[in-house]
Structure 1
Amino acid sequence: MGYPKDLLSSRSIIKHGLYALIAPEGLVNNVIPGFENCTISVLGSPKLGASFVDYVVTMHKGGKNSEGFCGQENVESFVYVLGGKVKATAAGKEYILEESGYLYCPPGTKMYLENFVEEDSRLFLYKQKYRPLEGRKPWAISGHANNIEFRDYDDMHNVHIKDLLPTDLDFDMNFHILSFDPAASHPFIETHVQEHGAYLLSGEGMYNLDNEWIPVKKGDYIFMGPYVHQAAYAVGREPLAYVYSKDCNRDPEL
């Protein structure tokens, strides 16, 4: 980066336990054992107030995790390819994932990742403790978001959503992509028990977080804690879209 050319400033906003906007300009490299030839930044984590961990990973030429990611009996994982092409391996099965490709690994399954091109590949990576439910068990799922049709969100023709995982009680979380046409918005400001970790895939907008309107754009990361007000307006010339996690299908614990 070299010496600064202006006053030091940042768009990032951190409200521990409530919400966070993390702009890509301020990210630093975190050393995560097992990842080789990779630049990794930890985004959401329990230190921020999240019940999960999100990472953004740039796999350089020859980048890989030969030791495997996760694999603990009570931890599930998910990877979404932001750009490039990777080979993912889980439970002895290989998956070739290009941009918009993803893989969910159930608890007890290690995910091995390897860059499959000469150029950089970029990933949005997630892990969370799984909450078991008697008689239910999740399974490995891979797909490409671009092959899934959008449906209208809350009966609005200019806001669209797609589910990346089954809406099934076997799963205690899901990943979705939400997309707003220019000038579209949520139908109301949401307040709910679920928390989210969201990576902005395209566009620009204004996001309401804890009743503060904050400008956001492609490449930003947003953490939304439980019961924090949240809603978005899309601005600009292209859709505002983001991929995000949501805890679901479980009764809150006492």
Structure 2
Amino acid sequence: MTADYYAPHGGHPGQNQLLTDRAVFTEAYAVIPKGTMRDIVTSFLPFWEGTRLWVLSRPLSGFAETFSQYIMEVAPGGGSDRPETDPDAEAVLFVVEGTARLSVDGAEHDMTPGGYAYLPPQAKWTLFNRGTEPLRFHWIRKAYEAVEGLDAPDVLVLNENDIAPTPMPGTDGKWATTRFVDPADLRHDMHVTVVTFEPGAVIPFLETHVMEHGLYVLEGKAVYRLNTDWVEVEAGDYMWLRAFCPQACYAGGPGRFRYLLYKDVNRHMALRPPSRGAR
């Protein structure tokens, strides 16, 4: 089945539209609906030309603290030859519209919708839109947690459409995860996957775990349980969960419900705050 990815295009609602929407920010989770991603809330970055972005999440003390997530919008001819200013940052890119020309350590790749790239810290990379239509992609950033005796992960440039999803046991494939990284590869301290539910499929228990989450709905709709609340979400919405926030869902149909999922993995829990001046 051909994948379908929702991406925001900005603009503003008319003056005659009601203000009511589904945006909510609580101590345990946030829901940022697609209707909030308007021109007025875009941001810009140093050394990026012809580019604006929506910031979906950023580290906040007492909330989700490990990552940031952007939706980047790059006009034809735009891009950057100095995209990342933090040498300790690792990144995942996921293309939802258009074509990206990614150069990493001298190797060039054309990334189309469904394209995934993992970029380790210190990677030398550039990205440009060489096409005639806007490019839109997710950029997830994390400060890499190095471990003595483990090398940094390798660069990966893949496409979701070339990877067979892994079904969850006992679900007859109705709940499946597309994994870009081997879960047993402990060099990685974050995973970004695509989770797919067929119509009517469920997460059948309240997941409660240490991993923080960013969930961007790529396709379809569902009712999601977040902490003590049931919320409706659809393609283009974003959910941001702090550690241990209970979560479950019902996929509403009529089509598939799919989301891009971030989580932090494979590291000891820090037992003391970072030293003053540390990144």
**TM tier relative to shorter chain:** over 0.9
User: Unpaired segments of 5 or more residues in structure 1?
Assistant: none
Task: Give the whole-Å Cα distance in 2 for the aligned partners of 1:206 and 1:70.
Answer: 38
Q: How many Å apart are 1:22 and its aligned residue?
A: 0.8
2:194 to 177, 183, 188: 177
Q: Which amino acid aligns with 1:122?
A: R
More strand by share: 1
1:192 to 194, 198, 209: 209
* Alignment of structure 1 residues 3-22 onto 2, 5 Å: 3-16=14-27, 18-22=28-32
Assess if the C-alpha contact under 8 Å between 1:86 and 1:116 holds in 2: yes
What is aligned with 2:7? none
2:167 to 124, 145, 152: 152
Assess if the C-alpha contact under 8 Å between 2:98 and 2:134 holds in 1: yes
User: Unpaired segments of 5 or more residues in structure 2?
Assistant: 1-11, 272-279
What is aligned with 2:8? none
**Misfit runs of 4+, over 3 Å:** 47-50
Assess if the C-alpha contact under 8 Å between 2:166 and 2:179 holds in 1: no
Assess if the C-alpha contact under 8 Å between 1:150 and 1:161 holds in 2: yes
Assess if the C-alpha contact under 8 Å between 2:43 and 2:55 holds in 1: yes
Assess if the C-alpha contact under 8 Å between 2:31 and 2:237 holds in 1: yes
Encode CA deviations 1:156-206: one digit per residue, 9 max, x unaligned: 121111211222011111111111100101121100000111111100001
- Of all paired residues, the percent bearing the same amino acid is 29
What is aligned with 2:57? 44
What is aligned with 1:115? 129
For the pair 1:128 / 2:142, whether they are aligned, the reply is yes
**Root mean square deviation of aligned Cα:** 1.5
Task: Give the whole-Å Cα distance in 1 for the aligned partners of 2:238 and 2:252.
Answer: 17
Task: Give the whole-Å Cα distance in 2 for the aligned partners of 1:248 and 1:49.
Answer: 14
Q: How many Å apart are 1:227 and its aligned residue?
A: 0.2
Pick closer, same or farther for the CA change 1:238–1:50 going to 2, 3 Å.
farther
* TM-score, normalised relative to structure 2: 0.86
Q: Secondary structure at the match of 1:236?
A: coil
Q: How many Å apart are 1:116 and its aligned residue?
A: 2.7
Encode CA deviations 1:188-230: one digit per residue, 9 max, x unaligned: 1100000111111100001111121100001111111100011
